Structure 1
Amino acid sequence: MPLVVGASWEVTVLDESISSEDFSNPSLSPLQRYGADVRRVRLGRSLMQKHLATGTGYSVSYVSGVESGKLLPSEKFATGCDRVFGTNGLFTGMLHRLEEGDHPTHFVPYVQLEQKASHILNFSTTIIMGMLQTEDYAQAIFRAGHPFESDEMIQGKVAARIRRREVLNQDRPPRLWAVFHEACLRTNVGGPSVMAGQLDFLVKSAARPGIDLQVIPFTAGASAAHSVSFTLLTFKDSPTVLYSDDPRGGRLCRTAATVASVMQNYDRLRAHALPPDESLTFVETVRKEYMP
């Protein structure tokens, strides 16, 4: 179908309409631009959403969510788009750049390792670990940390963080074990409704196979008071890696002696934490304090 070039052309393909402004709007977030590009190529191939859904192995609602910029696509969806469109890795590469562009440079190597890990062992002191944050919680965290940045930049960072959950949807996802100090549950991020939603999400996440959550209560005393937040990534065929934050930024450590020492510390933290079932009951109790 020929396109009519003009200031505001309108294209109708297979009963779907899209205007040029949808593609060129400068206020679109990176995620929305990705979705607009998927839609642009799909329409250029004269395909309906149901055709792309079939070709990628997802539902029509999933395709719609990606195209509208409301849903961060998975790696599988991006490679499916390249297969259906014949774009030779274009959308997969765009997805990687979308993700990396919204992470600090020092954090990108960690994200790449996280996707390959067999176990993710996390200890958090005051803030819920990124992989288990809700969108509203992450939004509040990033806005507090970047008060003068644009909404587009904040949205991009939130989307990149939420996408990290996709690793848990793999055919063989990593085992996730998260230990939270009670301060994570008590630090009021974003207000009562945001915290209530965040704690609900923790309980829901813990119901999934392969995810264990534990809480170290204030009553445990000094057991975790000296610790900083950190994550240990274990792999089937390579040594364990430590990621931790300090005032200079996050750092990866592969030194065997350091990693072994932190692993021992993690075992002690788990020993001082409430058992998983009691931990979930504790989370549910704190949640009611935010929104009865």
Structure 2
Amino acid sequence: MPQRLVFTGRSQEPRGRFTEELRRLRSERGLSLRDLAKEVGWDSSQFSKMESGRTLGGPEVVQALDQFYGTPGLLVTLWELAMADPLQFKEQYRRYMELEAEAISLWHYGGGTLHGLLQTPKYARELLAAGGTKGELLEQQVEARIGRQNLLEGDDPPAFRTILSEAALRTSLRDARAWREQLEYLAVAAERPNVTLHVVPFGTGLHGLMSTEVTYLRLLDGRTVAYTENDVHGELVEENGKVERLQRTYDAVRDLALSPAESRKFVLRLLEEEPCEPSI
């Protein structure tokens, strides 16, 4: 079973970090570019261009490499960072993305939106578009975000817990069918053994995360870091005292939430409320 990789910080430039990891993984396997092409199915010239940085390739080839090397989500995450406009991804978020790829467990609270690891392509597209992302960059970021969901699959996926405000589940997409697909996807995801879903229903009162989206990452070295964000600001929190205070707040919110079984039933009831699409 492949071990999760710890980032060394050798390269902080996203494109360079991505190409460096491609070269390292192939070198560790003792493969030539031609050998790699035979194993994965793309032309060796494609891998040569990717490793030299002349091209970054597309999400399909990067996902295939993640599967081949046994690094679910790692290369897709680095590819997303390399593809992104630097103005769109601040340094702290880049660092968070790297840490997400190596995390052994993740805890999330969403007051208004679903975590990217649980989004359907249509949900991700509408959410990113609402934030101002357009055109080719929008499609690239949607593909990369969906590709990151490989992190929750495979032989050794991290544990993932999400606490969702009812508001996040009542804020539907413009397309009724797309919203139904998102709720169905969430209900199925909640059945995975490594995924735990909690819902905080309306009427439970005020709590300490009302205006904050937060994700906690437990890392291989035993540390826990947190990433908090709102509509205009994101912050990577690594100082132990601050992380501990945030965790106590998270635990208090979890105490207000429905159990995993009740939470999944809650999502299923929402599906029953959604109008059925007429047959054609």
TM-score over 0.5 for the pair: yes
Distance of aligned partners of 1:228 and 1:78 in 2 relative to their CA distance in 1, 3 Å threshold: closer
Indicate the SS of the match to 2:236: strand
The yes-or-no answer on 1:122 pairing with 2:108 is yes
- C-alpha contact (below 8 Å) 1:122/1:230 kept by paired residues: yes
Distance 1:181 1:55 in 2: 45
Distance of aligned partners of 1:238 and 1:145 in 2 relative to their CA distance in 1, 3 Å threshold: same
The yes-or-no answer on 1:113 pairing with 2:99 is yes
- TM-superposed deviation, 1:250: 1.5
- Hey, what does 1:153 align to over in structure 2? 137
- C-alpha contact (below 8 Å) 1:75/1:95 kept by paired residues: no
TM-score (norm 2): 0.70
The residue type equivalent to 1:104 in the other structure is F
- Hey, what does 1:19 align to over in structure 2? none
- The two structures, once aligned, show a CA RMSD in angstroms of 3.1
**How many residues align structurally?**
222
TM-score (norm 1): 0.67
Distance of aligned partners of 1:172 and 1:192 in 2 relative to their CA distance in 1, 3 Å threshold: same
Distance 1:94 1:181 in 2: 29
Indicate the SS of the match to 2:102: coil
- Hey, what does 2:23 align to over in structure 1? none
- Hey, what does 2:78 align to over in structure 1? 96
- Hey, what does 2:248 align to over in structure 1? 264
Distance 1:287 1:70 in 2: 34
Distance of aligned partners of 1:282 and 1:76 in 2 relative to their CA distance in 1, 3 Å threshold: same
95, 112, 127: which one aligns with 1:141? 127
96, 117, 123: which one aligns with 1:131? 117
- C-alpha contact (below 8 Å) 2:110/2:164 kept by paired residues: yes
Distance 1:232 1:78 in 2: 24
Displacement over 3 Å in runs of 4+: 69-76, 78-81, 92-100, 223-227
- C-alpha contact (below 8 Å) 1:100/1:108 kept by paired residues: no
- Which of 1 and 2 has higher RCO (CA within 8 Å, sep 6+)? 2
Distance 1:74 1:166 in 2: 11
The yes-or-no answer on 1:185 pairing with 2:176 is no
Unaligned runs of 5+ in 1: 1-44, 58-68, 82-91
Distance 2:61 2:154 in 1: 14
Distance of aligned partners of 1:78 and 1:178 in 2 relative to their CA distance in 1, 3 Å threshold: closer
Percent identity between the aligned chains?
28
Distance of aligned partners of 1:94 and 1:259 in 2 relative to their CA distance in 1, 3 Å threshold: closer
Decide which structure has the larger Cα Rg and report it.
1
Distance 1:110 1:211 in 2: 20
- Hey, what does 1:176 align to over in structure 2? 160
